[in-house]
Structure 1
């Protein structure tokens, strides 16, 4: 497969690139500066400058973009809308590194994790921004998108176990709690790219 990973220099992006390269895929790292990933194929361009021509020819585009400072949180929505516009009608898969705050904690899907009393206040603005981006993504039927939410405890330094459990819209708790490492998340993301499943859906992942 030909795969582009946007924001490939980030912690999640680097591991996704590594996982895909290890499997023999043709991976292009889309970065703004010097390439820090294991692939030699790069596209040095800001996400907001990408166009349909840049992304043509890929089987899948994996969006690992993240923004955390208050002034740039709206870019979760604007960046995703920009990528959707660039990929509109092309048939290229768009797989999004999502957030956990929007996962439901009840079977009726009336309450999300970020609406629960114990959700950290410091993460509320980020969760709200990512929730808005997901809500807007759900309105797009012109793009073959998949949104992958991690478990609530998304561990950058967690070990790669090679195992994960894939779920749906609800928060899952595995044997170690609501935990997934970035490395195991990367496995799940590349598996989704390869399988072609869950188009137009949000799915989630946890350590079993």
Structure 2
């Protein structure tokens, strides 16, 4: 498979590229600026909003691991998502967007997000609000093969690759905060599984360690 990874120098991006290349897939790493600590085989330095149809043509999947933590860059999660989705309309190219647990529902009626919980971390609320918007934008597209993937609450950059993980839906129980865990390595492995299996098209799911 030929895979584009957006946010190539972020923690998720690096893990996903490592896993994809380990499995023999061809990867184009995309980032808005160059980092010197990683030397990728194929790299494109470009802002997400400047990507063109010609640059993504011929690729089987785009994995969007772009991170943005301040309001000035939140556009990558909203306008950036819409831009990529518009480029992919009518194509068979997969588009996987990564979004945090603040976007999960905490009631059966799906009217209340985890970000709306009274004890949700105040400093993360602005980002969670924007990530909910990114999910809502993707849900509006019925003619692209999108997937919204959410790592477990405790997303562990130092955790080992265990190969033991499962896929949950889009509901989250507050009682599971301490036990909801996934390593970056296992999350990356699960994402490549999704691409290889052609699963979870136009769905969102959570990836959790067993």
TM-score by length of 1: 0.92
| SS at structure 2 position matched to 1:101 | helix
Q: 1:109: which partner in 2?
A: 110
Task: Give distance in 2, aligned partners of 1:151 and 1:89.
Answer: 31
Q: 2:194: which partner in 1?
A: 192
**CA-based RMSD:** 1.9
Give the length in aligned residue pairs.
Answer: 208
Q: For the Cα contact (< 8 Å) 1:162–1:187, is it kept in 2?
A: yes
TM-score by length of 2: 0.92
Q: 1:25: which partner in 2?
A: 25
Q: 2:207: which partner in 1?
A: 205
| SS at structure 2 position matched to 1:177 | coil
Task: Give distance in 1, aligned partners of 2:55 and 2:158.
Answer: 32
Unaligned stretches of 5+ residues in structure 1: none
Is the deviation greater in 94-103 or in 151-160?
A: 151-160
Q: For the Cα contact (< 8 Å) 1:8–1:31, is it kept in 2?
A: yes
Query: CA 1:46–1:100 in 2, change beyond 3 Å: closer, same or farther?
Result: same
Q: For the Cα contact (< 8 Å) 1:146–1:201, is it kept in 2?
A: yes
Q: For the Cα contact (< 8 Å) 1:176–1:207, is it kept in 2?
A: no
Shift in Å, 1:165 = 1.4
Q: For the Cα contact (< 8 Å) 1:21–1:39, is it kept in 2?
A: no
Q: For the Cα contact (< 8 Å) 2:63–2:96, is it kept in 1?
A: yes
Shift in Å, 1:32 = 2.9
Alignment of 1:14-53 (within 5 A): 14-34=14-34, 37=38, 39-53=40-54
| SS at structure 1 position matched to 2:101 | coil
| SS at structure 2 position matched to 1:159 | coil
Task: Give distance in 2, aligned partners of 1:157 and 1:95.
Answer: 23
Q: 2:169: which partner in 1?
A: 168
Q: For the Cα contact (< 8 Å) 1:146–1:199, is it kept in 2?
A: yes
Alignment of 1:38-117 (within 5 A): 39-117=40-118
Give CA-to-partner distance per residue, 1:136-173, whole Å, 9 cap, x none: 11001121100101112222232222221111111267
Task: Give distance in 1, aligned partners of 2:164 and 2:17.
Answer: 18
Q: 1:177: which partner in 2?
A: 179
Q: For the Cα contact (< 8 Å) 2:48–2:76, is it kept in 1?
A: no
